[in-house]
Amino acid sequence: MKRMLTPPLLLALLAGCQAAPPSEAQAQTPDGATTAAVAETAQPADTAPAAVANFQGWLSRFRREARAEGIAEATLAQALDGLRYRPRVIELDRSQPEFVRPIWQYLDSAVSSTRVSNGQARLAEHRDTAREMERRYGVPAEVIVAIWGIESNYGGNFGDFSTLEALATLAFEGRRSDFARTELLAALRILEAGDISPERMIGSWAGAMGHTQFIPSSFVAYAVDGDGDGRRDIWGSIPDVMASTAHYLDRAGWQAGEPWGVEVRLPEGFDYARTELSHRLSSAEWAEQGVRTLSGEPLPEFGAASVIVPAGAEGPAFLVGRNFRAILRYNNATSYALAVGVLSDEIAGREGVVQAWPREQQPLSRGQVREMQRLLNERGFEVGAPDGIMGPNTRRGLRAFQGAIGVTPDGFATLTLLQRLRR
């Protein structure tokens, strides 16, 4: 991914989902909304012969441009001869998630008992490899396995689209052509390096590849040869998969010996305006404000930690540190990072989430969030342009409204609050 660390799943911007099965697809947003998509509407893609002809014309121009950027003719022939336009890719790209699940339903499937037991089995099967990558990069073996589990269900589903065809189709279609063209060039460089053959370069419709779903530019920057065969194969070599995933997290700022986070209890009268990832204090400072572990033991040592309440004051609270933020660099959604953390704990035999989720709450659709944003603006609680995303500005405005009506100002959007706004 580009020249800086950004998620291998930049398909967050393309797909609104991971490579997980549709029932577990997570709606991802740049500010880490904590909901998961369960329904989509799509517009049909153009399948007319003219579209196919235009694609072939675009492909000829791209081929010339790639040659000018140093890609060898043999690689271009290997990769681009016979490449097809894939209308289904465009249909999926145009899909706009509208209905959302609350975070507890996402975690129910992302951290299911089956996924935990399968993760424990995979860790036992590949324990020596996982421990070696933990020793090399400082990332715990269970965290590596947890990402593997959530990204592709331990290799059970990492997509069946040709990465080359998917990216070429997206680059041709034009809505995100610059991104897709950059990734297609990176894919050609992977082929030129001999890491994989075109027919084995498969993944999601948005270009994410292999067991832990790297996009091509992330592969170029962070994939590692873990088994020493001279190739980086995140499709077939588990040592390469684990090494590449751990290397990515290491480069994202993973701190060896520090947990991703811990479930905590907040004191009476806690200021929920402080429950943003941008608000960071040391463990000692949070302890001074009355934040406690559920067991009453001292908080883990965090140099810069945040309190998050993904379901508001009625749900669990967590103190999360630098490693949580490193996971967010892999996929920038709070629900995703929390799922990785909790799944890794349970794979390692530690306790999962203890406090109850407010399962009686009804989630808002994106349209309802836009309506809430519009009504907050109209009533003087400025949140910016309505976009259907529960980001920091919207939570700030919602907390102000909650305070004005005498409700705990936790910034958690519910149907009850929307109805109050309507009145």
Which pLDDT tens digit goes with each residue over 69-94? 999 999 999 999 999 999 999 999 98
Q: Domain check: are 338 and 265 in the same one? A: yes
For the segment 140-184, what is each residue's pLDDT rounded down to a tens digit? 999 999 999 999 999 999 999 999 999 999 999 878 899 999 999
Tell me, what's the pLDDT at 21? 29
Asked, for residue 204, whether it belongs to a domain, the answer is no
Asked, for residue 275, whether it belongs to a domain, the answer is yes
Which band of pLDDT confidence, cut at 50, 70 and 90, is reported for residue 44?
low
CB neighbour list of residue 352: distance below 8 Å, 6 or more residues apart: 111, 342, 345, 346
Q: Which long-range contacts (CB under 8 A, 24 or more apart) does 59-67 make?
A: 59/83, 59/168, 59/172, 62/168, 62/171, 62/181, 62/184, 66/185, 66/188
Q: Domain check: are 322 and 282 in the same one? A: yes
- Split into its structural domains, the chain has a count of 2
Asked, for residue 18, whether it belongs to a domain, the answer is no
Tell me, what's the pLDDT at 18? 35
Which band of pLDDT confidence, cut at 50, 70 and 90, is reported for residue 99?
low
Tell me, what's the pLDDT at 29? 33
Which band of pLDDT confidence, cut at 50, 70 and 90, is reported for residue 5?
very low
Q: Domain check: are 373 and 404 in the same one? A: yes
Asked, for residue 220, whether it belongs to a domain, the answer is no
Domain boundary among 315, 347, 379: 347
Asked, for residue 270, whether it belongs to a domain, the answer is yes
Least confident of 21-35, 153-167, 387-401: 21-35
Domain boundary among 286, 312, 347: 347
Asked, for residue 273, whether it belongs to a domain, the answer is yes
Domain boundary among 317, 347, 377: 347
Tell me, what's the pLDDT at 137? 98
Note down the domain range covering 328. Answer: 261-347
Tell me, what's the pLDDT at 400? 97
Tell me, what's the pLDDT at 280? 97
Q: Domain check: are 308 and 382 in the same one? A: no
The span from the CA of 256 to the CA of 30, in Å, is: 26
With a pLDDT cut of 70, the percent of the chain lying above it is 88
What 3-state DSSP class applies to 41?
strand
Asked, for residue 316, whether it belongs to a domain, the answer is yes
Asked, for residue 149, whether it belongs to a domain, the answer is no
Of 174, 120, 149, the closest CA to residue 349 belongs to: 120
Tell me, what's the pLDDT at 214? 97
Taking CA atoms, 37 is separated from 17, 101, 311, 363, in Å, by 8, 6, 16, 11
Other C-beta atoms closer than 10 Å to the C-beta of 374 total: 14
pLDDT of residue 209 exceeding 90, the answer is: yes
CATH code of the domain in which 272 resides = 1.10.530.10
Q: pTM here?
A: 0.88
Which band of pLDDT confidence, cut at 50, 70 and 90, is reported for residue 98?
low
| pLDDT, averaged across the chain | 89
Tell me, what's the pLDDT at 48? 64
Give the H or E element holding residue 202.
Answer: strand 202-203
Tell me, what's the pLDDT at 97? 63
Average pLDDT over residues 279-302: 96
pLDDT of residue 104 exceeding 80, the answer is: yes
β pairing state of 36-37 and 292-293: unpaired
Tell me, what's the pLDDT at 232? 98
Tell me, what's the pLDDT at 2? 31
For the segment 303-322, what is each residue's pLDDT rounded down to a tens digit? 899 999 999 999 999 999 99
